[in-house]
Amino acid sequence: MSTGHTPDDRQSPEGTPPEHPGAEPGLHRRGFLTGAGAVAGAVAVGVAGAALPGQAFAAGQAAAPVTISAPGITLIAGLDGVVSARDGGGTERVRLTRFMTKDSVVGLQPTSGGTPSLITLPDGRSAIQVDYKLPAAANGLTVRGIFDVTPNRAHLRWELGGSTTLLPAGVLFGRTVTAPTAPESFAALTTWNRDAGGGIPYETNAGVVYQETWADTFAYFRLANSTPAWTNASWMHSPGTATTNGAVVEADLVLGTMRPAAAGTAGSLQPLGVEVWTDQPFSIWDQGGVPMPLHAAVANGGTADRNVQLSWWARDFDGVILGSGTVAGTVAAGSTWAQTFTVTAPPQGIVFTEVSAKSGTDEAFARTNLTVLPPFTYQAGADSMFGIANYPWLLKPDTPAVVGLMQRIGIKRVRIAYDGGPGLAPAALDAAGIAHNIELHGIPLDGTTAQVAAWADTNTTLAINANAEYFEVANEINRPWMTTTTAASYVRDGLHPVRDRLKAAGARTKVLNAGLSGMDYIWTKAFRDAGGWDLIDGFSFHPGRGNFTPDYAPAPADWTTDSNGTYWNFLGSLNKAQEVIAEYGPKELWMTEAYACTKPNSWWHDTYRHAAENVLLTLALAKAAGVRCVNWYQLHDSILGKPQLADPVNSEYHYGLMHRDLGAKPSMLAYATAARVLDRATFVRRLTLPDPDLKGLLFTSPQGPISILWSRKDGYILNPNHPTDSGWFAAPEPWVDDWRTKTVLKVAAAPAVSIADPQEAEHRGRDHRDHRNNVAGTVREIDCIGRERLLTPTDGCVELHLDGAPRIYYGLTNTPDAT
């Protein structure tokens, strides 16, 4: 289902990155030591000693620095074309230094100085124009900058001309930040949307900002798009828009104490913007019953004050309103208004929130999720099945927080880690007690002997140096699906060279085959026939899944292999993988990617609620099958190289356990629930219930029998009523239970027991759950996100209400399917 996420995937889609020149030499200071400070009220303009406000000048006429001002900001253009941006107190914050063009014929061409002048814009406002100088090698390229101001904001525009071979995606502008107190940071901006066709709200991109920080204020460069990897201390990547014989590049500079999202609203002159956040990393609380403060800010991006109504609500997983309200206030132009709303934390679970702002006909809103997930002491250690695929590369809010989150939800293995790679280094994982593998691809199939040897030398050394326990040699190399293509060349040019080098080095590193895209048994047979089976220690595959429940298991002979075909099923693929291992010889079974994609309003993918249910059931079925490790794909919504940029259309973006704002999806709670319940569990058998539509798995554990039960009376197809004439599916909100059929099952409860083992008793008391069912004879029911309720037996039995969502039961007998 995925295309793999290894070092080769850092390339941004905008094309080849610009070859960045080194840091700027010392900048000239002439022209910056004089000039007017900020002027309150209307925009003030001037060319010192040479002009009256509002007078237009032709390029080259300025005899002194050129100044324009608005409340909170002043721009001063020196005679060398460098533009200084100062705040309302007159303190210089940023300088706009040079511009870098990129052209397919003349390459990279930086400007070297420029001539400022004062001009009048079509709307009557004044602006600074800078006509930049370019070397003769630029072959007629021209660059002109036009800069204007509104309260707390400067609009920056560069017009490039004189070439039909410009590469606008690769251009940059130079900037210097004056004495910042923290490194520059990058943030993606989004807008929440409600679709006219219904369904769940979703985010779209609203540009990006680079934040500059001082002790008393901030500055933000807002752009429609930018690749952070192409930005350095001297140059900021600022892709432009092509014109007939050139390009236009635009950005905004916002000054003030506001947060990045508000700066984006102000920079883009949007009427209203809303942002929500909490002070808790990942918006996770340790316990119930405590206040959960939700912070909200509404930004006024216009030029006049606005009267605003700010409303909020908070709901639990059942849709119960936990808090709501409306407040009114006035938001000044170019400013923000903040409020804090508080809800009481439930014992465990998720709280969905929304804050909306209205002023006249303008409206904006934002959502985030609050989570209660108590700490837990995991006992399985290296035997744990629970891992994460891709790199946990988005180290926000910081590395210790990310490591702590992984430990809390039960992640005990990372698929890819190596020094110098994205995400957490091997040493950091070792210190946290998290095992790590490596996956590297790019094998030069059918390449020359020298090319094959060079790849194997480099990558096997990298795997050994990373102290990887397993080396997964490439990723999803079985393309096209269900063919023999690449199987023999992969064994010859990939596995054999790696095995040879590992043996020669005496390395302990074990080998996994390239995780297969789907359970491709045809490719696997060709792989075995080419000698590949004897070269691996574990068999790896990626059981992609469409709009089917995880326990859907069509016969392989009936699989259809189109992009929406039944080939993309979970349990049928798992069963086939076990069959292959039984036939070809014993191997560990690995799922180096497993999925519950939540692409919004897409019938082929999971709703947020289905995803949580399916995460739990997927992991339970994998545990029942003896899978050595399931690497869930992935920790957070996003794409490497485009951190936290919203992408509602690309399914690859939506596989995370967290949203792009790092609030948990219900999926993350389901992962943690499975990790806790199955931590030291051993599979016993599948349950055969009197009603064939009722399904179950039985595990044993130190806490007694564990039964996981569900119903398939509503079938195995998810979102079955999706339209066939459109890709749009109006998905229900996550608190909507859309399983229609509820079935009552009467089951015997286990009798009350006492805990004879003092160590086990101490362990139970230490964990956040006291396993009351074992002590008091009650039955404890746990849903997919870890919420529990106690069921009191009557005449030794309890009534269970089953539907398509799997539920976990402690306190039943070890024969819950007995009639």
SS3 748: strand
The Cα angle at residue 595 between residues 623 and 616, in degrees rounded to 5: 45
Beta strands 588-594; 538-542: pairing state = parallel
Asked if 560 and 566 touch (Cβ cutoff 8 Å), the reply is yes
Residue 85: Cβ-neighbour burial (10 angstroms; 0-12, 13-18, 19+): buried
Tell me the pLDDT tens digit for each residue of 236-275: 999 999 998 899 999 999 999 999 999 999 999 999 999 9
Q: Assign residue 639 a region: left if phi > 0, alpha if psi is -120 to 50, beta otherwise?
A: beta
- Residue type for 352, please? F
How far apart, in whole angstroms, are the C-alpha atoms of residue 535 and residue 512? 9
Residue 193 makes CB contacts below 8 A (sequence gap 6+) with 201, 202, 203, 204
Asked if 17 and 230 touch (Cβ cutoff 8 Å), the reply is yes
Return phi, psi of residue 454, to 5°. -65, -45
Residue 61: its pLDDT value, please? 53
Q: How many CB atoms lie within 10 A of CB 746?
A: 10
Residue 62: its pLDDT value, please? 57
How far apart, in whole angstroms, are the C-alpha atoms of residue 460 and residue 447? 18
Asked if 143 and 160 touch (Cβ cutoff 8 Å), the reply is yes
Tell me the pLDDT tens digit for each residue of 740-766: 999 999 999 998 765 545 545 444 444
Residue 19: its pLDDT value, please? 54
| The two structure tokens encoding residue 739 | 């399983």
Q: How many CB atoms lie within 10 A of CB 479?
A: 12
How far apart, in whole angstroms, are the C-alpha atoms of residue 640 and residue 643? 6
Beta strands 470-473; 438-440: pairing state = parallel
Beta strands 470-473; 510-512: pairing state = parallel
| The two structure tokens encoding residue 287 | 């316990």
Regions of the chain short of the pLDDT cut 50? 1-15, 20-43, 47-60, 756, 759, 761-775
Residue 63: its pLDDT value, please? 65
How far apart, in whole angstroms, are the C-alpha atoms of residue 96 and residue 263? 19
Q: What is the H or E stretch that residue 743 is in? A: strand 743-748
Residue 664 makes CB contacts below 8 A (sequence gap 6+) with 282, 283, 284, 350, 369, 371, 373, 657, 658
Give the torsion through C-alpha atoms of 492, 498, 501, 506, to 10 deg: -130
Residue 520: its pLDDT value, please? 98
Residue 764: its pLDDT value, please? 44
The Cα angle at residue 227 between residues 226 and 229, in degrees rounded to 5: 145
pTM: 0.90
Residue 655 makes CB contacts below 8 A (sequence gap 6+) with 2, 595, 596, 597, 598, 633, 634, 637
Residue 110: asked if its preceding bond is cis (omega within 30°), the reply is no
Q: How many CB atoms lie within 10 A of CB 234?
A: 20
The residue with tokens 């303190």 is 91
| The two structure tokens encoding residue 607 | 């709703």
Asked if 441 and 475 touch (Cβ cutoff 8 Å), the reply is yes
**589 closest CA partner among 616, 618, 555, 622:** 622
How far apart, in whole angstroms, are the C-alpha atoms of residue 536 and residue 148? 63
Q: DSSP letter for 166, please.
A: B
- Residue type for 583, please? E
The Cα angle at residue 68 between residues 299 and 117, in degrees rounded to 5: 135
Asked if 154 and 170 touch (Cβ cutoff 8 Å), the reply is no
- The sign of the torsion formed by the CA atoms of 194, 198, 201, 205 equals negative
